[in-house]
Chain A
Amino acid sequence: MFTSIIFILILFGATVIFCRKVRKITWSIKLGKDITINDNVLLRWKRVLFIAIGQQKILQRPIAALLHIFVYAGFIIVNIEMCEILIDGVAGTHRLFSFFGGFYGIMVSIFEFFAVTVMFGCAVFLIRRNILRIKRFWNKEMTLWPRSDANIILITELLLMSAILIMNATDSILQTRPDSHYVQVGSFMISSIIQPIFSGLPFSSLIIIERFCWWFHIIGVLVFLNYIPYSKHFHVFLSFPNVYYSKLRPAGEMANMPSITKEVKIMLEENYSDQDDDNEEVTFGAKTIRDLTWKHLMDAYTCTECGRCTSSCPANITGKKLSPRKIVMDTRDNLEEIADKLFNRKSSEKDNEKNKRTLFDFISAEELWACTTCNACTYECPVNIDPLAIILEMRRYLVLEESAAPGPLNNTFSNIENNGAPWQFSHEDRMEWAKEFMEKQKINVPVMADLFAKGEKSEYLFWVGSAGAFDDRYKNVTRAFVKILTHLGVSYAVLGTEESSTGDVARRAGNEMLFQMQAMMNIEILNGYEVKKIITCDPHAFNTFKNEYPQYNGNYQVIHHTQFLRDQIEAGNLKIKSAIFNEKTITYHDPCYLGRANGEYAAPRKVLDFIPSEKKEMKRNKSNALCCGAGGGQMFKEAEKGDKEIFIERTEEALDTGADIIATACPYCMTMITDGIKYKDKVEEVKNYDIAEIVILSLGI
């Protein structure tokens, strides 16, 4: 009776403290900007089932996955035993479920088996962290506390599981002793193995050990329960809602900023009526945790610091300061700090605004500007945390509020604004790539405006892109693709001098204002010509048209040239005749904005399958492919300080395959890989071709 009261008091106290902490975390998460996520309920539940419950994304690293499943599944199953312990504790009974008879013994044996798998998992995890010192657990942000936190969790779990086993072992011995009140349920599978250790002990010692383990386990569990919300281990609860609320749209799509849309409309539309000043209160981008959405903050609390994001981050791999995990951890630390002050009402919010530290006290501009927006981190995260979104919101703040972009990016912005291309080229030169070509090859490149003047329309718009029009190397790709279009007799046209930057670079470099101006001007032109289908060789344009222009009423069917080429070859319209690559080995580099951002890994590979040649994959390919290093504005700025340039790392990996040809499908990738080949002094041996160039060479036209 007395122990029951003590037990109930402890249980009640632990539950109350836990609930209070959870309430505070919920309250902290709600400090973020309000957004509504209530679409696609079924799909969201499906993702919870597969990604959170089914651990789908963890499986990409099989060893860690297996060990994690040991601990995860084990922990859930062992906790079923908690029901009995709780009831026993409250009611003052002992092994209440033993009325199940023989089945009880089987159940407890199964629990014991899983207790051992948990212990095995924890032990290996401890070895990986502390003895093998796997790199991702020792990055800079893994300071003493995060490292200790992990060890505390693992050791606690080991101790809790040991307590169960020792308790069961001593219990089984006690059952056989005369005068014991212990219910006769027999020995259990695992604990019977350790029984001999205790078999010689006197009756009283056994009772003390058995009772101690029982109390140690239950109090340990309750203490651990209250430790979890202070620790990275909170992911055991938050992974589920976090996956439920995670982004469903393609990874390449950036969140829209309606506050900027309003400003752009005021600027572009003279009669725009909504001129009131509600934007004065708005912060553009994120400076403090209050400028992030509650989903970003939930991300921060969900992170269990596994470091998969960081270990796949091209910037981090090449020694730059950026670590996506640190971004998420810093967000959480800043949030905790601010939430503590606000929650305890030590200071009013106004007062707090002045003294409190912002995200920028934790995260430096250098880290933010090292990101290539390649989406490796968001792809890797087992619980769908989006560190990239936080990076981009902070870049937006730097550019829109502080105009603090790196100098070369400011020049890029000015170029896009003044001449519609990231480089200083006149828009009137946008057809220069075609001039000589049209004369020599007797090819006519139809221009939309000319067709329209004649009252004609084309089925496709071919979006040449700034690189396609101005980059000397890449012009060749444009010409190759146009030759294929002509060869096929496809009804297409280009915009010519009316084309202007899609704004992809501007948006990813934080200049949302410039991006939206470009988007709205382009959409006006595209819709003016009633464009329905767009083909482009540039994955960045592809992503922007497909995923981002719909934010402003620009709805088109967008086709990447590799998809178009695949369809045409499969339909038998393009016959590969020449065996020019017969003796060659080709390796294909996935552009981030075609691959991870839009899930297109198959089309370019399918095209290459039709080319008689040897194909070899790089070590990191498809969803794990390493970025070329040029995305997210990097193309137009100096790389941040690090040990190595990303393009060199990637080129080396491509060269390691022994390939004669590195195939690319993106203008930025082409620049980077071509530079990489030059840097590695392999110009003679290894060539970099776009998929379109490989096709045209194989067509022999």
Chain B
Amino acid sequence: MRIFVCLGNVPDTTTKVTFTENNSVFNNTGVQWIINPWDELALTRAMELKEDTGSLVEKVTVITVGTKSAEPTIRKALAIGADDAIRIDAEPTDAYAVAAKLADVLKDEDFGFVMCGIESCDYNGFAVGGMLSEFLNLPSVSAVSGIEVEGEKVSVSRTIDGGKEIMSIDTPFVAIVQKGISIEPRIPAMRGIMMARKKPLNVVEASNAEILTNHKSFELPQPKPPCKMIDPENVKELFDLLQKEAKVI
């Protein structure tokens, strides 16, 4: 069984976000790029499944829509242990275009399931996974926080309000994964880093998917107002401030 893991190439979470062109374009100068944390957890789970002798998972392929600048991130995924990678050569614009381009390549591939992070930490669109399953005309399960593969059988679990839901599903399908799918992301071992240089990273041309949305402008959150210190004895002042200034009580 082959698993595809979709990778998003996103700015490191400590990045100071700024915009150019009248606040409509993200300024990517000096930005450190990383694997989208949800996708990284999906990849970690995929690797665990591949290493588990009880599962039939034999191959893990990472796939991404991105320009050449995304390749260090893809190499990192290969270093973590993915067997090969596909880069669909296009700027990832909106969710629709990314999902369509992914679907266009994946429709010709044979796989057990595709794993997508539920969101990406840059635009937090929550959309690619769902759209991808529609384009592929495959069932999907969203907010998956556990996947088990026993032989050909796959079961997924979801954390729901006050409990856990476990279901079985026929392959192929799309798993839209939530945090919890694996506990901690892996760091690549030396052997992985060395092998990653030689693993296949296939660049394919992107299909002409429509771009349905465009960024008009971005707004940064207001800087946090300075902290007000109140004497621990002075409960009345705290009460007044919470009521009149903060208006929360």
Contacts and interface: CB of A to CB of B under 8 A. Distances in A.
B53 interface: no
A405 B16 CA distance: 29
Contact of A263 (B15, B183, B186, B194): B194
Contacts of A405: 187
A399 B190 CA distance: 8
Contact of A410 (B13, B185, B192, B193): B185
A413 B76 CA distance: 14
A401 B14 contact: no
A414 interface: yes
B186 to A, nearest CB: 6
B32 A419 contact: yes
Contacts of A513: 190, 193
A400 B197 contact: no
A124 interface: no
- The CB with the most chain A CB atoms within 10 A, among B12, B32, B190, is that of B190
B190 A418 contact: no
A364 interface: no
A511 B15 CA distance: 24
A263 B191 contact: no
A221 to B, nearest CB: 52
Contacts of B92: none
Interface string B140-161: 0000000000000000000000
A424 B13 contact: yes
Given A407-B184, A410-B184, A419 B14 contact: yes
A439 B12 CA distance: 30
Interface of B is mostly: loop
A429 B186 CA distance: 27
A271 B234 CA distance: 67
Interface in A371-411: 399-403, 405, 407, 410-411
Contacts of A410: 184-187
A561 B8 CA distance: 44
B189 A401 contact: yes
A280 B194 CA distance: 8
Interface string A135-167: 000000000000000000000000000000000
A511 B190 CA distance: 9
A293 to B, nearest CB: 19
Contacts of B189: 399-403
Nearest to A406: B184
Interface in B158-187: 183-187
B187 A414 contact: yes
A407 to B, nearest CB: 5
Interface string B182-209: 0111111111111001000000000000
A87 to B, nearest CB: 61
Contacts of B185: 410, 414
B187 A426 contact: no
Contacts of B16: 426, 428-429
A484 to B, nearest CB: 28
In this complex, the member of B13, B16, B187 whose beta carbon has the largest number of chain A beta carbons within 10 angstroms is: B187
A406 to B, nearest CB: 10
Given A419-B12, A426-B15, A401 B187 contact: no
Nearest to B191: A401
Interface in A329-359: none
Contacts of B86: none
A260 interface: yes
B190 A263 contact: yes
Contacts of A75: none
B199 to A, nearest CB: 14
A267 to B, nearest CB: 8
Given A263-B194, A418-B32, A424 B14 contact: yes
A402 B194 CA distance: 14
B184 A284 contact: no
Interface residues of B, number: 20
Contacts of A419: 12, 14, 32
Q: Is the interface of A mostly helix, strand, loop or mixed?
A: helix
A410 B32 CA distance: 18
A418 B15 CA distance: 10
Contacts of B194: 263, 279-280
A684 to B, nearest CB: 15
B229 to A, nearest CB: 15
B103 interface: no
B34 interface: yes
Contact of B190 (A401, A407, A413, A425): A401
A76 interface: no
A266 interface: yes
B181 to A, nearest CB: 16
A194 B188 CA distance: 73
Interface in A248-266: 260, 263, 266
Most A CB within 10 A of own CB, among B13, B184, B189, B192: B189
A403 B186 contact: yes
B18 to A, nearest CB: 10
Contacts of A414: 185, 187
A418 B13 CA distance: 9
A429 B184 CA distance: 27
Interface in A415-429: 415, 418-419, 424-429
Nearest to B80: A403
A260 B183 CA distance: 29
A266 B14 contact: no
Contacts of A428: 16
Contacts of B197: 266
Interface in A270-295: 279-280, 284
Contacts of B183: 407
B45 to A, nearest CB: 16
Contacts of A400: 189-190
B184 A418 contact: no
Interface string B1-44: 00000000000111110000000000000001010000000000
Given A263-B194, A266-B197, A419-B12, A403 B32 contact: no
A440 to B, nearest CB: 14
B6 to A, nearest CB: 21
Interface in A559-598: none
Contacts of A280: 194
A424 B190 CA distance: 24
Contact of A413 (B32, B34, B187): B187
B188 A403 contact: yes
Interface string A105-135: 0000000000000000000000000000000
A266 B197 CA distance: 10
Nearest to A427: B14
A263 B13 CA distance: 27
Nearest to A400: B190
B13 A260 contact: no
15 contacts: A263-B194, A280-B194, A400-B190, A402-B189, A403-B188, A403-B189, A403-B192, A405-B187, A407-B183, A410-B184, A415-B14, A418-B12, A418-B32, A428-B16, A429-B16
4 A-B pairs with the lowest CB-CB distances in the bound complex, closest first:
A426-B14, A419-B14, A418-B12, A400-B190
Given A400-B189, A413-B187, 18 more contacts: A260-B190, A263-B190, A263-B194, A280-B194, A399-B187, A399-B189, A400-B190, A401-B189, A403-B188, A407-B183, A410-B184, A419-B12, A419-B32, A424-B13, A424-B14, A425-B14, A511-B187, A513-B190
